[in-house]
Amino acid sequence: MKSKTLIIAALSLILCTSYGKTNTQKQDKNLQRTFNNPIFPKVGPDPWALMHDGNYYYMHTMKDSLVLWVTNDITKVQNAKRKTIWIPSDPKNSKNLWAPEIHFIGGKWYVYYAADDGNTDNHQLYVLENSNKNPLEGNFVMKGRVSTDKDNNWAIDGSVFENKGKCYMVWSGWQTRRVDVETQCIYVAAMSNPWTLSSERVLISKPEFEWETKYINKNGWTPSHKILVNEGPQPLTSPRGKYIHIAYSASGCWTPYYSLGLLTAKTSDNLLDPTSWKKSTKPVFVQSPENGVYGTGHNSFFKSPDGKEDYILYHARDTETDPPGNKDTRTPRIQKFSWDKNDFPIFGVPVSTTVLLSKPSGTTIE
């Protein structure tokens, strides 16, 4: 009888141990399907991601060089394979490299970025090209500066998109050289190839609403002159193909009020006619003090690996302003967004860094 009791006890222990291991394995697997923001914990302003052939190609501002990351799990991009693809040698464009984007156009890779000679008033747009199938291989070569207007006005944050078989560029630029007030506007132009505009620039937005014109930071650094900001334009085609939306960042990125506005045109309209574009009267994505997320902006968009979900990638801070010493604390975050019945995006509220989020659907769990 005693031996039977011992056998039953031993079997119970084995079953309990086995159940405990199975339960732990399930919990570990569930955790592997989640992530926390930010996807780079220390710094990563102006983030950009492109999904192509099962991989994400990711970049953000590094200031003195251009670095490309490649991964099949965007939430693990900080540990992904990376390569420095460009270190400038020309003094005219060797400083302040901002907001790089990589695009795959006509079978080749193109990187768009802004740079200057050390004087930020001289920022211009530049394009690199790599014909290798794998952008981590081969070499990126300079195709040249994008001439945005005859006076070579200040230009940053270039992005490109296609509509009805035609290519366009959008960017942030000045109408005229800054004197006392600096005003950044959103422009669009047609393109004849990935590095050349084929039309005059067309102004489609300038700072006008109160939420677009905040530049004073009560708790931190404020510029010595007035700066009104519309920048970081990002094209987004609606699911049913009815609209081209352009999300753009408004107000100073050094303030907690940095937010997203939305420009919208019908895909059937003339995109070079400024009257085709309608602007949202209110911001569509703003800070969330209750979630500890400030200065939400300079975004890009991407699909989940299975193509079923839409994501916004943006930078933000955990505090209202950077700490003393000009330390940049903007970090990249991602979250899923949805669409309303009218083909307009619903970005929701920026989530807290303490919230566990599900990885994009179709992400391979290793």
Cα(199)–Cα(125) distance, integer angstroms: 16
Catalytic residue, from 46, 73, 129, 212: name it: 46
Q: What is the pLDDT of residue 23?
A: 61
Nearest to 326 by CA among 219, 218, 215, 221: 221
C-alpha of 63 from chain center: 16
Handedness of CA 284, 236, 258, 296 (dihedral sign): positive
Q: Is 46 a catalytic residue?
A: yes
Task: Answer for the pair 235, 246: CB distance below 8 angstroms, yes or no.
Answer: yes
Task: Answer for the pair 82, 125: CB distance below 8 angstroms, yes or no.
Answer: no
Catalytic residue, from 101, 129, 212, 231: name it: 231
Q: Burial code of 304-330, b = ≥16 C-beta within 10 A, e = fewer? A: bbeeebbbbbbbbbeebbbeeeeebbb
Task: Answer for the pair 199, 190: CB distance below 8 angstroms, yes or no.
Answer: yes
Nearest to 184 by CA among 220, 148, 221: 148
- Is the backbone of residue 39 left (phi > 0), alpha (psi -120 to 50) or beta? alpha
The enclosing H or E element of 32 equals helix 2-32
HSE-up of 283 (CA within 13 Å, CB side)?
25
What domains are there in the chain, each with its CATH number? 44-358 (2.115.10.20)
Task: Answer for the pair 118, 98: CB distance below 8 angstroms, yes or no.
Answer: no
Q: Is 116 a catalytic residue?
A: no
Cα(259)–Cα(314) distance, integer angstroms: 10
Q: Output the tens digit of pLDDT for each of the chain's 366 residues.
A: 555 555 555 555 555 555 565 565 555 556 689 999 999 999 999 999 999 999 999 999 999 999 999 999 999 999 999 999 999 999 999 999 999 999 999 999 999 999 999 999 999 999 999 999 999 999 999 999 999 999 999 999 999 999 999 999 999 999 998 888 999 999 999 999 999 999 999 999 999 999 999 999 888 888 999 999 999 999 999 999 999 999 999 999 999 999 999 999 999 999 999 999 999 999 999 999 999 999 999 999 999 999 999 999 999 999 998 887 668 999 999 999 999 999 999 999 999 999 999 999 999 987
